[in-house]
Amino acid sequence: MGKKKVIKQTEEELLKEGEKAEKSAVKKDVKTAPSPGRIMEGRIYISSSYNNTIITLTDNQGNVLAWSSAGAVGFKGTKKATPFAASKVAEVISQTIQKLGIQKLSILVKGIGGGRESAIRSFAAKGLEIVSITDMTPVPHDGPRPPKVRRV
């Protein structure tokens, strides 16, 4: 194995990514955008697996406003599944939230990865009002059929 290269983004590249996130957040419904004084609610879906963390921002009807993942932020390989990567993804989404003027959030968490709690903590640290946190992780209730008895 050769030397590992660490990808470091310059400030200009980070600003470009922020502009891309802003453009994707502001869709063609500019006419129906809320006034600055109006409180807007949104939902955040955190899907955390052993390999990646994906965070999606939607409105209350379920229309996607923005999304990001650890891979999209710039992490590769096993580093995508770390809590640090999840907190960086949450910071990218929280910037979009502040630009849209969303005040109240409902967080829905799915999966068993390491980025679950760190993403929630970073949203809370940004000063966003979290209304509810719901765990939607699927749980098997009976499992598969056991194998037949071995005959020797």
Secondary structure (3-state) at 11: helix
Beta bridge partners, 124, equal: none
Q: Give a yes or no: residue 116 inside a domain.
A: yes
- Residue 106 corresponds to which amino acid? S
Q: Give a yes or no: residue 29 inside a domain.
A: no
Q: 51-87, pLDDT tens digit by residue?
A: 999 999 999 888 899 999 999 999 999 999 999 999 9
Q: Which CATH number do you get for residue 106?
A: 3.30.420.80
Q: Give a yes or no: residue 1 inside a domain.
A: no
Q: Give a yes or no: residue 67 inside a domain.
A: yes
What's the sign of the alpha-carbon dihedral 132, 133, 137, 139? negative
Please tell me the distance from the alpha carbon of residue 113 to that of residue 39, in angstroms, as a whole number: 32
Q: Give a yes or no: residue 148 inside a domain.
A: no
Instruction: Report which of 71, 72, 121, 127 is spatially closest to residue 95, judged by C-alpha positions.
Output: 127
pLDDT of residue 30: 40
Q: Give a yes or no: residue 130 inside a domain.
A: yes
Q: Give a yes or no: residue 85 inside a domain.
A: yes
Instruction: Report which of 137, 90, 139 is spatially closest to residue 112, judged by C-alpha positions.
Output: 137
Structural domain total, the chain:
1
**Planar angle of CA 61, 130, 137, nearest 5 degrees:** 70
Q: 90-131, pLDDT tens digit by residue?
A: 999 999 999 888 989 999 999 998 889 999 999 999 988 999
Residue 96: which domain range? 37-135
Q: Give a yes or no: residue 24 inside a domain.
A: no
Asked if residue 23 has pLDDT above 90, the reply is: no
Tell me the pTM.
Answer: 0.69
